[in-house]
Copies of this chain bind each other. A is one copy, B any other.
Amino acid sequence: MTFVSYKKDWTGNSRQNHDSVNTNKDKWGGKMAFSKGKRIEDETSKRIVDLAVNIGCREGADALTVTRLCRELNCDRRVIYNRFRDIDEINLVVAQRCNEELMAKAKNALKPQASFEENFIILIKTAFTYIYEKNSYFQHYTALYKVTETGIKNTILQEISALVEEGKAAGEVRAETDSHKAAQNIWLLMTGIGTMLAANIDYKYQDGLDTLLYGAEAVSAYMRTS
């Protein structure tokens, strides 16, 4: 028997930010100046994001700091803060890039002639395997999200939700299905099992995949029209 492997606490900080204010309480309840209103979308923004993706996915979110970005871009901190609220926002942009790459791969595996249910499972399996094959830094980004008034936002979640809506349009998914809830369940299982696999050499990929597919098939059957 192998013994005592467990996942670390993954509780983040409770915080509340608002888009349209230029001061905000930071994590310790103090006040910090942030970027004002709209994001500047220019070549510099693109360079910042490219560099952030490079650092975040190769060295991890801990290595991704504003100081590091400024050093490598040879620029002032204001160049960053004029474009991004804080490092959390930059991390979310990195997550979006990682997840777009992931979901492009997963959607590429879909079969045009297959049923919704078959494609739903293919998408989940392909995405999960892609996450598994990447390093833990990439895996970290697949679990990042933001909370908005309309719920949890994460690219993987949105893409699964969109597929469910397509299934509805095709008459293969019950019209009353809450595609966001279905997708959130799949995303939680996918990232939860992915993290367990990354944390335990004794927990095998096939076991993780089988558990995920059990959940995916249950959710899929629950949505079925027939």
List residues of A whose CB falls within 8 A of some B CB. Answer: 1-19, 60-61, 85-86, 88-89, 91-92, 95, 136, 139-140, 143-149, 151-152, 178, 181-182, 184-185, 188-189, 191-193, 195-196, 198-203, 207, 210-211, 214-215, 217-219, 221-222
Contact = CB atoms under 8 A, between A and B. Distances in A.
Contacts of A145: 5-7, 196
Given A218-B221, A218-B222, A1 B188 contact: no
Counting from the closest, the 6 A-B pairs by CB-CB distance are A10-B10, A218-B222, A12-B199, A185-B215, A4-B88, A181-B214
A11 B211 contact: no
Interface centre among A3, A88, A184 (most CB of B within 10 A): A3
A1 B19 contact: yes
A5 B217 CA distance: 30
Contacts of A196: 145, 152
A5 B11 CA distance: 11
A70 to B, nearest CB: 20
Contacts of A92: 4, 6
Given A200-B12, A207-B151, A211-B181, A85 B19 contact: no
Contacts of A193: 188
Contacts of A136: 9, 11
Contacts of A13: 199
A16 B152 CA distance: 35
Given A88-B4, A146-B4, A214 B185 contact: yes
A5 B198 contact: no
A199 B91 contact: no
Nearest to A88: B4
A16 B192 contact: no
Contacts of A147: 2, 5, 200, 202-203
Nearest to A207: B151
A93 to B, nearest CB: 10
Contacts of A15: 4-5, 201
